Each structure stands twice: as C-alpha cells, then as structure tokens.
Amino acid sequence: MWNQGHNESSSMTGGYTQSPGGFASPSLSQGEKKGRSRLSQIIPCTVSQLMAATQSDEAFKVGEVEVSQVTLVGIIRNADKSVTNIQYKVDDLTCAPMDVKQWVDAEEPSVDGTALPPGTYVKVSGNLRSFQNHRSVVAFSIKPLDDYNEITSHMLEVVQAHRSLGKMQTSAGTGESTASAPRGGAADSSYAGARDVANNGLSGTQNQVLSLIKGCPDPQGIGLRDLKARLPNLSTVAIKQVVEFLSNEGHIFSTIDEDHYKSTDCDL
C-alpha cells in the first residue's frame, strides 16, 4: 500500500513528543487539565474521512463522531518551507494528499524548523481547519515513523475509534448502555477504566502508559522508574516522550516531582 516508488527516510526518529514548532502547550492548572481532557480528544482519521466530513460552522463530523484534533499517518509528497511555516502534502492513499501546515518559530533555538523531505513516512497530529472551502490540518506535531508497523496500527486505531465513539454517541441519544460490562465492585471499575482508555483516540503505546498511570492507587502517582519496569519493551526516552505528550494533552499531571504522574481523571 505504501511502497509507491518513493524513497524511505533514512533518518527516522521515534517517539510521541509534542513538537509543535515553537507552539508548545502552555502550563495548565489541574482543573484546566481536567476540562481539556474531557472536551478535546485526538481522533485517528484517514484523509478521505476528513475530506468527506460534514461541517456545521466550525464543527466537523465523520459519521456520528465530531472531530477537531486528529492524527494522520502518511507519506510526505511535497514540502515547501517559508520563514513562518512549512507546507506539506501528506498522502495516506485513501484520496488526494492532504495539505498540512506546521508553524515555525525562528526565534526559538530549541525548535528544529527543518522541513522533512518528500518520501518520509510521518505521523501528523493537529487541528482540522477549513478556509474558503479548502480543508487542511494545522499540525502541532509531525514525527517520522520509527516503525512501519505504526502504519497498520494507525489504520486499526481509525476503525476502533470511530466504531467505539460512534456507538457511544448513538447510545447517549437513546439512553442505552454502550457496552455490556461485568457487574460488581472493583471488577466493574477496572473494566470501565480500560474501556475509557481504549476510546480516547491515543496510540497503543500512549494507551499503555496512560492505563498504568490510571491504575496506580498511590496518592503520589507512579514514577518513571516503575513505568519502565512495567514496560520493558520501551526505552526510558520513549516513556518520557509519551509522558510529556500525555501531560501536554491534559491526560496526566506531575505530583511530588517531575518523575511522578497521576491521571487527571482520578479523584484526588
């Protein structure tokens, strides 16, 4: 599907860091983080879904699922860098390539404003926008893939997210339960927590880390060392990148120090 005669990038770096070209998420108070995590989800999508989404004012819907912040996985077909932004065309082969804009800040030395070359497979996280009937994604993160299994993983996440969220919204209108769950005490609570994590639009790795943080009963949260012990397949750097992303998105917050984290959905 993806081998269309384009050279693969030879300098692929992994991770799920929030690298929005100088537009890092501001620090949020605990209450603000809770509100943000409930009001905005990052929904995995295909380009064809975004182009076919219905629009009412500033709201977009793919079927029954309202989307704003989205993730795409595709290959860069074209890159055009200017002083203030980089314009990409990202193709996931579901329809014509999507225009993706990433703003850059030349005054921020820690931000790499180098445009990724055509032929690079990337994961894009950003906001769906429409201007004069032209749709595009304004990206706050564009990361080269470090593992081509992420292509398959993304497509599975697209199917899972839209099926689950669509059922949730349909059931909300009828007052019916979205899924049958075991009844009774801790088992019921554990099932609900796992279901919430599965429906939040995050990647598999991000969900793994978030699930462990949510499941930690310690008032001070779980430390990076414990996360590493529970996730031996991930490097410490990768775990830190996921934790930073989850923190920036308002899913978690630091507690006694910068190495311990707790879920914003936990009762304090």
pLDDT tens for each residue of 52-64: 999 887 789 888 7
pLDDT for the residue 261? 87
Give the pair of three-digit tokens for residue 78: 């074209």
Instruction: Identify the residue with better confidence: 98 or 3.
Output: 98
C-alpha distance from residue 16 to each of 162, 244, 253 (Å):
22, 8, 17
CATH label, 40-144, candidates 2.40.50.140, 1.10.10.10, 2.60.40.10, 3.40.50.880: 2.40.50.140
- The pTM of the full predicted model, rounded to 2 decimals, is 0.50
Average pLDDT over every residue of 99-122: 83
Q: State the Cα–Cα distance between residues 240 and 244, nearest whole angstrom.
A: 6
d(CA 66, CA 157): 16
Confidence of residue 111 (pLDDT cuts 50, 70, 90): low
Query: 61 pairs with which residues across the strands?
Result: 54, 66
Lowest mean pLDDT among 109-118, 145-154, 186-195: 186-195
**pLDDT (0 to 100) of residue 228:** 86
What pLDDT, on a 0 to 100 scale, did the predictor assign at position 129?
92
Report percent pLDDT > 70 for the chain: 68
Check residue 102 and give its pLDDT. Answer: 93
The pLDDT of residue 180 is 38
Q: For 184-221, what is each residue's pLDDT tens digit? A: 343 333 334 434 444 456 777 888 888 888 888 888 88
Tally Cβ neighbours within 10 Å of residue 9: 18
pLDDT for position 169: 54
Residue 244 CB partners (closer than 8 Å, separation 6+): 17, 18
CA-wise closest residue to 73 among 4, 141, 164, 21: 141
- Domain regions of the chain by residue span: 40-144, 189-263
Instruction: Name the CATH code of domain 189-263 (choices 1.20.1250.20, 1.20.1530.20, 3.30.1300.10, 1.10.10.10).
Output: 1.10.10.10
Arithmetic mean of pLDDT, 159-181: 59
User: Angle formed by the axes of helices 204-214 and 185-198, to 10°?
Assistant: 150
Name the band, by pLDDT with cuts 50, 70 and 90, for residue 123. Answer: very high
Q: Strand ranges (DSSP E) for the chain?
A: 42-44, 54-56, 59-62, 65-67, 69-81, 85-91, 98-103, 121-131, 134-144, 222-223, 252-254, 260-263
Of the candidates 63, 40, 64, 37, the residue with the CA atom closest to the CA atom of residue 52: 63
Q: Which residue has the higher pLDDT, 167 or 116?
A: 116
What is the rounded average pLDDT of the residues 66-93?
Answer: 93
Structure confidence at residue 168 as a pLDDT band (50, 70, 90):
low
Q: Which two tokens stand for residue 130?
A: 């429409």
One fold for both 40-144 and 189-263? no
Query: 172: burial class by Cβ within 10 Å (0-12, 13-18, 19+)?
Result: exposed
Q: Are strands 134-144 and 98-103 parallel, antiparallel or unpaired?
A: parallel
Average pLDDT, whole number, for the chain? 74
List pLDDT tens digits, range 1-43.
554 444 444 333 333 333 333 333 334 444 444 433 333 578 9
Please report, for residues 31, 35, 114, the alpha-carbon distance to residue 76 in angstroms, rounded to integers and kept in the order given: 38, 34, 14
